[in-house]
Amino acid sequence: MDKQMIWPENKKIAVVFNVCVEAWSDGKAPGISPMGNPLPSGVLDNMAISWASYGYKEGIYRLLDGFAKHGLKASMMVNGIVAERAPEAVKAIAMGGHEVLSHSYSMDVIPALLDEAEEKKNIQRCLELLENASGQQVKGWLSPRGTPSPNTGRLLSDAGFKWYGDVFDRDLPYLQEFNGKKIVAIPLGTDVNDMPFMKYGAPPKQMLESFMQNLEVANASGETCIIDVTSHAHIFGRPRGAYFYAQIMAEAARSGAWVATRSQIADHVLASA
């Protein structure tokens, strides 16, 4: 996609709100948590499991309230296992008009660790789980860690996906083609993301400041751009994080930028190709 291209309504800036609704397989725990002292090797971190479960039990609903208040739609990265454990949460996301996209079966099922047959099976499994729970077609994919295998783009294209986000080599979306089928590769910006703020102990307000700085830079450059604003329901779904995430929503709505989902970005790229 050329940087001279304009978003709908002649806008130069697109803002995409990404929300990760994540879970780990049975017997697996997140690699990080608020506890700084790791357990001995081989010991299951039940604290980390409980901490991460907050996202689909509590946090997602607080974030959905914020989007409803500001009239904005988000792209929700949902693990297939969430559709098994909390299908009501996936349904609530869809009922709010948000995009449900696949984030693999669970956070420990990473395409780079699968052979081609396993990966193909995982893609189909996620499609069935998320579409059944949401009642909507799943058109997008973003792997845990954003880490694909050498086959991911082709397998997703073969499965009928419109876009995927496992690319970090451009500023703007671009088309890839596999076996004559096109898929939109939409890079994921990591500058406005709650994960590093949590990991390094920065207060949530700094994420708002980071967004405002990105907006300032975008306006100064005059280039067509995307500002990704990414949260995790188990991190910024808690009261203080959700409060400042909602402030970013308000600033995005006031900015005059095109606030879009990733699927809407893909539609625009395909229509402009």
Give residue 63's pLDDT.
Answer: 98
Give residue 197's pLDDT.
Answer: 75
176-235 pLDDT tens trace: 999 999 999 999 999 999 988 777 778 899 999 999 999 999 999 999 999 999 999 999
Give residue 196's pLDDT.
Answer: 80
Give residue 33's pLDDT.
Answer: 87
Range of the domain at 108: 8-25+44-272
- Domain membership flag for residue 154: yes
Give residue 132's pLDDT.
Answer: 98
With a pLDDT cut of 90, the percent of the chain lying above it is 90
97-122 pLDDT tens trace: 999 999 999 999 999 999 999 999 99
Q: Per-residue pLDDT for 273 more than 90?
A: no
Average pLDDT over residues 114-134: 98
* Helix 60-70 × helix 239-255 angle, to 10°: 30
Q: Are strands 174-178 and 181-185 parallel, antiparallel or unpaired?
A: antiparallel
From CA 174, how far away is CA 168, in angstroms rounded? 11
Q: Per-residue pLDDT for 5 more than 80?
A: no
CATH number at residue 215: 3.20.20.370
| Tokens at 12, concatenated | 């130069």
Residue 232 β-bridge partners: 20
Q: Per-residue pLDDT for 24 more than 60?
A: yes
From CA 230, how far away is CA 75, in angstroms rounded? 9
- Domain membership flag for residue 31: no
∠ CA 198-107-34, nearest 5°, is: 25
Average pLDDT over residues 82-96: 98
Give residue 3's pLDDT.
Answer: 55
Give residue 32's pLDDT.
Answer: 86
- Domain membership flag for residue 3: no
- Domain membership flag for residue 38: no
| Tokens at 143, concatenated | 């792997």
Give residue 4's pLDDT.
Answer: 64
Q: Per-residue pLDDT for 1 more than 60?
A: no
- Domain membership flag for residue 102: yes
How many structural domains is the chain composed of?
1
Tokens 């017997």 correspond to 27
Q: Read off the pLDDT band of 2 (50, 70, 90).
A: low
Give residue 91's pLDDT.
Answer: 98
- Domain membership flag for residue 2: no
What is the pTM (predicted TM-score) of this model? 0.95
Q: Return mean pLDDT, the chain.
A: 95
Average pLDDT over residues 254-272: 97
40-57 pLDDT tens trace: 989 999 999 999 999 999
